[in-house]
Amino acid sequence: MASQDVVVVGAGPAGLAAALGAAEAGARVAVLAGGVGTTHLAAGTVDVLGYWPPGAADPVKRPREIVARLVEEAPGHPYALVGVAGVEEALNAFGRAVAAQGLAYEGSLDANQMLPTPAGALKPTCLVPRAMAAGAAVAEGRTLIAGFAGTQDFYPGFVAANLRAQGLDAGHVWLDVAAVRARRPQTAVVLASLLDDPAVLNEVIRAVRPHASGVDRIGLPAVLGFRRHPEVVVRLEEAVGVPVFEVPTLPPSVPGFRLFEALRRHLAARRVRITIGAEVVQAFADGDRLVAVGTATASRVQRHPAAAFVLATGGILGGGIVTRPDGSVAEVALGLPVSAPAAREGWLRPQLMHPDGHPIYRAGVRVDGRLRPVTGEGQVVYGNVYAAGAVLAGTDLWREKSHEGVSLATGYRAGRAAAGKSVEPGSGEGSRADLPTGRGGHG
Amino acid sequence: MADVEATLDACIKCNICTSYCPPAQVTGAFPGPKYAGPQAQRFRSPREPSPDASVDYCNGCRVCNLVCPAGVKIAELNARARASLFRDRGGVPLRERLLGRAELLGRLARPVAPVANLLLHNAASRWAAEVLLGIDRRAPLPRFANRTFREWFSRRGGRAREAAGARFTTGRRKVAYFHGCAANYYEPHVGRAALAVLERNGVEVIVPEQVCCGLPMLSNGDFDPARACFQTNLRHLAPVVEAGYDIVGTSTSCTLTLKAEARELLGDDSEAARLVGEHTYDVCEYLMAMHEAGELDTGFEPLELRVAYHPPCQLNAHRIGHPATELMAIIPGLEVEESGAACCGIAGTYGLKKEKYAVGMAVGRPLFDFVKDSGATVAACDSETCRWQITHATGVRCLHPIELLARAYGLADGQA
Ligand code: SF4
Ligand code: SF4
């Protein structure tokens, strides 16, 4: 509708980072998305690089070093296009943005943290929400995992048993909280909103407190408040007297919602217009420039002109790349060329958990050094279109555990480039880490 | 147009819809879109009774459709399921049939508006309506205007008129105004404001024959009379579109129904429905398109006012962004704060029903808090029932954005 400099297509981590990068560079930005993105399905952590090479047995300990190695070893990988400094620059911008909205993240490229998953496995991740941070210490002392009786989707005994199987000291308890038991439907978001209510929180505190003696920390499902989350965690911790941490639940994930909401608020304050439910279905081009994108409305296609565009629609999981029954693989929003296995037979390897992964998950849009999509022959398709995040070819984000890192780094870079900030391929301009690494306040 | 039923196969069971669905956040009576929509749909068959009655607690806000990453048309699945639920039970209940007939009520009441208002708004009859019909005695009901919009328009001459000082006279735009029931029977001043603003911008405006858009019937599960209304409207409006007019409305629910809702729910893929759908606009959408084409007179007088604006669910379902926000931003002095809230809870007639009144008020809580905390002296919203609900819950007067535009043009309306 109203004129804008940059249109970002997609509202997952890459799209939001692109909007942030472009807005910080002074551009007027609009974000268009067919639905909400993968933020809501992921754990709410920022995974930068968990395993390298993909499928490696041991997790990455120092992502700064290993990302630098990856840049040398895998020139086609998105990290090679932005460099270590580019990754760091984006993480810093992200950290500032969410902290400004009261959602603190901790950690840096210097060290991965091992956080318990809903299955009790330990997952390497780089930046973690402050409310999950105490979970990184499960290797030391005794941990109690607590769940709410009468709810689905989180089984404390299962988490604790798997922690014990890894040689850690962990126990579990079911908390009986009448207000939680009574509530239907019990999605994680509903439970989190319930805990915003001080009366319910008091009930929870009364149920947890008797179990706090003799343990070093208590893990609870990630439903510790929604709108009043920081306050809820502080009150709970003060009342029980030991550190409390959230364990991610099955999707949809409350920490993912909080992350999305924090970025949305931050961008709205910078006059970025975010429209959810506006699916891009058409590209209006003039030679080698994209003039506008068209979204489906109730009855017509609506044109959104801009000087530059960022494509951040996600990969196969996010819906930006689709596989068709005839064996073709397509990019849905702009119809860009896709690099993918030539035929359907090449999509998957014979075993589900094959150590080399499945080629289809590496399918995506290939880009030049400035993140502009190119054809099979390496020709830039549109001079004013940039691509970022899981829609990019050349990486298997879920096996590498690099989803948010790649999304934020390429998104932020693409947003700046779209806003006219020229950046050297493979370089970053940012400073070193300035994120808090201790257990700081809530900003 | 994607077939409603076919979209359910795209569901990835992520439950994002449930996490955003406003009623599911506040009541246990509704299990949420995923269960009531794509999941329960698997068990619905034309020859068997409906498996689950909870779908009646869906308020039709379509928030689920917007957030769903897979494009499932959940709200439409639910609306159809409600209609078949009533069919199974031997017919649409009296209350639902009544609430669907805003227009019939308007026609009956109009000649005796003061009496009708008295009857409708006194404690005894509200009590009776609650006991006999299940319409909550606290719920916000509108007042009938003494003179309908159509009466006013026909007294004005019943024809398009050139406004004094209108700037564009050649190749002028042509609009057929769809007032719907609200602007005709309850809030004719909204219709007059729309006319004044369009004419001020040199648009030729006619008021075509029309009946209720049918949405109140569609959302109350009463599909047959809705189909009749839609057919009548197509008969009146398709020739008007063929003659070069665009259909412009001030009620985001009427325009949504004409654009897509009736076609999708009733499965009407006729050429007339397509033609009318493609040429229907919300009034602010239309003015914004004029602005983009450089055709909007932006000579607004300053309005020193703070406005709490709520983009209603029906507007969001148009998927056109928030044109009213952008238009109001052009008015000097006007400070607009947009609510981030999902839904006011009234959802047309949902929040009027006795068993759902409290659900509606709980759904609207974040919005009401926003309006009260904003410090704004006036609220704005594009949808009539939402305006009534906002005022009912907050005591803050709520206007249609077009009224603010009319005021900023100095087009004061002395004929309330
Ligand atoms: S959001 Fe869409 S895909 Fe997800 S569960 Fe709901 S209907 Fe299914
Ligand atoms: S239309 Fe609204 S009330 Fe109905 S299921 Fe969807 S989100 Fe819930």
- Per the domain annotation, does B193 fall within a domain? yes
- Other Cβ atoms less than 10 A from the Cβ of B39: the count is 16
The pLDDT of residue A435 is above 80: no
> Nearest CA to CA, how far is B317 from chain A (Å)?
7
Same domain, yes or no, for B103 and B82? no
**pLDDT score, position B180:** 94
pLDDT for position A438: 34
Contact between chains at B19 and A257 (C-beta distance less than 8 A):
yes
Q: Please check whether residue B299 lies inside any domain of the structure.
A: no
Cβ of B19 under 8 Å from any chain A Cβ?
yes
CATH code for the domain in which residue B320 is found: 3.40.50
Q: Are residues B246 and B360 in the same domain?
A: no
Which 27-86 residues of chain B touch chain A by CB within 8 A? 28, 30-32, 35, 65-71
What does the pLDDT look like over A414-434, one tens digit per residue?
999 999 975 555 444 433 333
Name the residue range of residue B230's domain.
149-292
| Closest ligand 2 atom number to CA of residue B23 | 3
Which residues in chain A have Cβ-Cβ distances shorter than 8 Å to B324?
none
H helix intervals, B146-211: 149-155, 180-181, 188-200
Q: Which of B24, B68, B288 sits opposite A35 (nearest CB)?
A: B68
Q: Is B138 a member of any domain?
A: no
What is the model's pLDDT at position B114? 76
Shared-domain flag, residues B161 and B33? no
Residues A60, A49: contact at Cβ < 8 Å? yes
| Mean pLDDT of all residues belonging to chain A | 89
From A187's Cα to the closest Cα of chain B, the distance in A is: 7
C-beta of residue B329 within 8 angstroms of C-beta of residue B318: no
Pocket of ligand 1 (CB under 6 A): B 11-17, 33-34, 38, 68, 70, 72, 74
Which of A252, A265, A276 shows the shortest C-beta gap to B14? A252
Higher pLDDT, A425 or A42: A42
- The ipTM is 0.86
For residue B144, being part of any structural domain is answered with no
CA of A403 to the centre of ligand 1 (A): 22
User: Relative to the alpha carbon of B21, which ligand is closest?
Assistant: 2
Looking at the fold, whether B363 and B390 belong to one and the same domain comes out as yes
Q: Can you list the residues of chain B whose pLDDT is less than 70?
A: 1-2, 42-51, 164-171, 413-416
Q: In terms of C-beta density within 10 A (0-12 exposed, 13-18 middle, 19 or more buried), how is residue B283 classed?
A: buried
Q: Compute the distance from residue A228 Cα to the ligand 1 centre, in Å.
A: 26
Residue A7 pLDDT: 98
CB-based contact A252 B31, cutoff 8 Å: no
In a domain, B331, yes or no: yes
**Domain boundary pick from B292, B317, B341:** B292
Angle at B45 between CA B42 and CA B48, to 5 degrees: 130
In B208-267, at which residue ranges do the beta strands (DSSP E only) sit? Answer: 246-249
Q: Whose CA is nearest to atom 6 of ligand 1?
A: B17
Chain B contact set for A319 (CB, 8 A): 69-70
CATH of the domain at B60: 1.10.1060.10
Domain CATH for B267: 1.20.1050
Cα of B128 to nearest chain A Cα, Å:
33
Residue-level pLDDT at B332 = 97
Q: How far is CA B405 from CA A403, B268, B326, B330, B400, in A?
A: 46, 36, 12, 10, 9
Tens digit of pLDDT for each residue in A116-141? 999 999 999 999 999 999 999 999 99
pLDDT digits 0-9 by tens, B34-80: 877 777 776 666 666 666 778 888 888 899 999 988 888 888 888 88
**The pLDDT value given to residue B415:** 47
| Predicted TM-score of the model (pTM) | 0.89
Tally Cβ neighbours within 10 Å of residue B43: 10
* pLDDT at A272 > cutoff 70: yes
* Residues B175 and B210 grouped into a single domain: yes
Element (H, E) at B405: helix B401-408
The alpha carbon of A111 is separated from its chain's Cα centroid by a whole number of angstroms, namely 18
Confirm if A320 and A20 have CB atoms less than 8 A apart: no
The secondary structure of residue A281, as a DSSP letter, is: E
Q: In chain B, which residues have their Cβ closer than 8 Å to the Cβ of A38?
A: 69
Q: Is B61 in the pocket of ligand 2 (CB under 6 A)?
A: yes
For residue B56, the model assigns a pLDDT of 84
CB contact under 8 A, B288 and A1: yes
Inside any domain, residue B416: no
- Please check whether residues B113 and B82 belong to one and the same domain: no
B62 Cα: distance to centroid of ligand 2 (angstroms)? 5
Identify from B248, B309, B319, B363 which residue to disrupt to test chain A contact, counting A C-beta atoms within 10 A and taking the largest count.
B319
CB B212 within 8 A of CB B166: no
pLDDT tens across B201-239, in order?
999 999 999 999 999 889 888 899 999 999 999 999 999
Interface test with A, best of B1, B12, B15 (most A CBs within 10 A): B15
pLDDT reported for residue A342: 64
CA distance A91 to A80: 16
Residues B247 and B168 in one domain: yes
Q: What is the pLDDT of residue A327?
A: 78
B277 phi, psi to nearest 5 deg: -60, -45
Do B341 and B282 share a structural domain?
no
Question: What's the whole-number mean pLDDT along residues A329-342?
Answer: 87
The tally of domains found in chain B comes to 4
Q: What is the pLDDT of residues B188-201, one digit of tens each?
A: 999 999 999 999 99
Nearest to A295 among B31, B68, B319 (CB): B319
Residue where one domain finishes, among candidates B260, B292, B324:
B292
What is the rounded CA–CA span in Å between residue A106 and residue A129?
A: 6
A6 vs B137, more confident: A6
Which residue among B31, B261, B320 sits closest to A297, beta carbon to beta carbon? B320
Query: Which listed ligand is nearest to B38 at the C-alpha?
Result: 1
Search chain A and give the residue with CA nearest B255.
A298
> Does the pLDDT value for residue A391 go beyond 70?
yes
Residue of A nearest to B25 (CA): A190
Residue numbers in B near A36 (CB within 8 A): 16, 20, 67, 69
Which of B292, B317, B350 lies at the terminal end of a domain, its last residue? B292
Q: Are residues B180 and B260 in the same domain?
A: yes
Regarding whether B263 and B194 lie in a shared domain, the answer is yes
Do B84 and B98 lie in one domain? The reply is: no
Please determine, for residue A355, whether its predicted confidence score (pLDDT) is greater than 70.
Answer: no
Domain identity same for B237 and B161 = yes
How high is the pLDDT of residue A428? 42
Whether the bond between B111 and the residue before it is cis, its omega within 30 degrees of 0, is no
Q: What are phi and psi of A192, to 5 degrees?
A: -65, -40
Chain B residues with beta carbon closer than 8 angstroms to that of A274? none
- Report CB contact under 8 Å: A299, B14: no
Residue B249 inside a domain? The answer is yes
CA of B18 to the centre of ligand 2 (A): 8
Q: What pLDDT score does B50 carry? A: 65
Domain-embedded: residue B23: yes
